[in-house]
Every structure is written in C-alpha cells, then in structure tokens.
Amino acid sequence: MKKAVVLLLGILFLAPTQAYAEKAIPILVYHSIDEYQGTGQKELYVTPNHFEEQIRYLRDHGYTLLTFERWKDRKTVDKPIFITFDDGYKNNLKAFEIFLRLRTEEFKPTGTIFVISDFIGGVGRLTSAELKMLAETGLFSIQSHTATHPDLTKREKMEYELQDSKKKIERITGKPVIALSYPYGNFNSRVVEETKKYYQYGLTTTPGPYKEQNIKNERYLLPRTYVKNSTTIEDFAKLVE
C-alpha cells in the first residue's frame, strides 16, 4: 500500500515536469511590417493587415506573448509564444500600433526587436528616441542583433559586435540587453562561447519550435520560425499549434 502511495505521488509530481519539458514553444521571427514596394526580399515583408490578423489569432486562441525577460514564465502561462523582429526597421512601429489596437485587459501583446546598433537612426531604421519609447511602453523588449550585422562565424574578434552593441542599446533604453539574434542565423561553438560572455540567450534561424531538452548551451541555440509575406492565416495557425 505504501509503495502504491509513493508511486502515485511520484507520478503527480513528475507529470508536470515532463509536460513542461515536452511543450513546444513557437519563437516567430519577422523583419518588416509593411507593404512590399519592390525593394529587398518580398518574403521578409509581412503586411500590416496580415500581421494584425495573426496577432488577433493569437489573442482569440488564448496565447500568451512573452519576451526573454519572462523566459521562466513559459512554464506557467497558457500557450506561451515569442514574437521577434530582426534588424530594427522603422516600419516595426506598425506592429506597435497593432499591439495597442488589439490589447485588452486579458491580452497584453509583447514582442522583441533585435536592433543593429550601428544602424540605429539610419534610413528606414528606428531612432534612439523611438527605441526608448518602445521600451518604456512595456510592449517591446529591445535586444541586440550585433553592431554591424556581420557573419560572426567569420569574425576573429567579436567584442565590438557583442559587447559594444549591448552597451549602446542599454544606454538608449535604460534596460538590460540579455539576448542576441545571430546575423543570418549563423553560429558555431566559438560564437556561442563568446555570446555567453555578454548575453543570457542566443537566437538562431534554425526552423521549428523550442522544446526543452536540457542540452549544453540550450539557451544559445534557440530555434525560430519565419513568418513570411506568403504565410496565410492557415499556414500561421499550423506554425503556432
């Protein structure tokens, strides 16, 4: 009888841990939230209408949008998901407007913008004032996409790209920079080791949801799934389910 009770208690306490470990968490990556005007790669443009439709889908289906400051909450909230934007384009302000429009008492949309620190204030890029404003709203976390967007696997020295970009963004927003998006999604063991000196998370473009496996450097190998210009709402539903 005692053995049965111990076994039952073990199952009860173990089951949630296993469930959390097996939970697939989508980490989505966007670039431009805008109409495609014929310049650049069309697939990297998601129209504002499509983006709003996608965020409304997440709201209506009970998802909780997180940033990496809330990484631990992935184990306790309903249907966790991360929305990320690479490069720091000014048109990401349209995502901000959509977040404001869809926000409710129950649904608080948030996203992470990975900015290239030397490009801040450049043509078509968010300015320092805009980044500070976005960070202060609490709707966006501003993180690093390096200083100049190089392929880090081909760089002998990375201090400027990793440490200096982190410091510059922190001076602008007044908030900690804890996550790095690898340019082009490229990384290797040396890049990971250098990233660990300055950041708590490293994001790739390896496709697929995140599943906790307790492997070495897991938080520096985070996968992400592209949302593209051609992604329909039916495609989107499949990506996040």
User: Closest Cα to residue 111, out of 53, 29, 174, 226?
Assistant: 29
Give the sign of the dihedral formed by CA 225, CA 96, CA 48, CA 37: negative
Give the model's pLDDT for residue 22.
Answer: 63
Q: Residue 23 corresponds to which tokens in the numbers above? A: 């939970």
Specify the 3-state DSSP secondary structure of 226.
strand
- Condensed to tens digits (0 to 9), the pLDDT of residues 188-240 reads 999 999 999 999 999 999 999 999 999 999 999 999 999 999 999 999 999 99
User: Closest Cα to residue 79, out of 28, 129, 125, 23?
Assistant: 23
Distance CA 207, CA 203 (A): 11
* pTM given for the model: 0.91
Mean pLDDT of the chain: 93
Mean pLDDT, range 31-39, rounded to an integer: 97
Which residues, in sequence order, are CB contacts of 214 under 8 Å at separation 6+? 21
Query: Residue 48 above 60 pLDDT?
Result: yes
If phi > 0 it is left, if psi is from -120 to 50 it is alpha, else beta; for residue 203 that is beta
- Condensed to tens digits (0 to 9), the pLDDT of residues 157-199 reads 999 999 999 999 999 999 999 999 999 999 999 999 999 999 9
Q: For domain 25-240, give the CATH superfamily.
A: Glycoside hydrolase/deacetylase (3.20.20.370)
Distance CA 136, CA 130 (A): 10
In the chain, domain spans = 25-240
The DSSP code sequence of 69-138 is: GGGGGGGTSSSEEEEEEEE-BGGGHHHHHHHHHH--SS----EEEEE-GGGTTSTTB--HHHHHHHHHHT
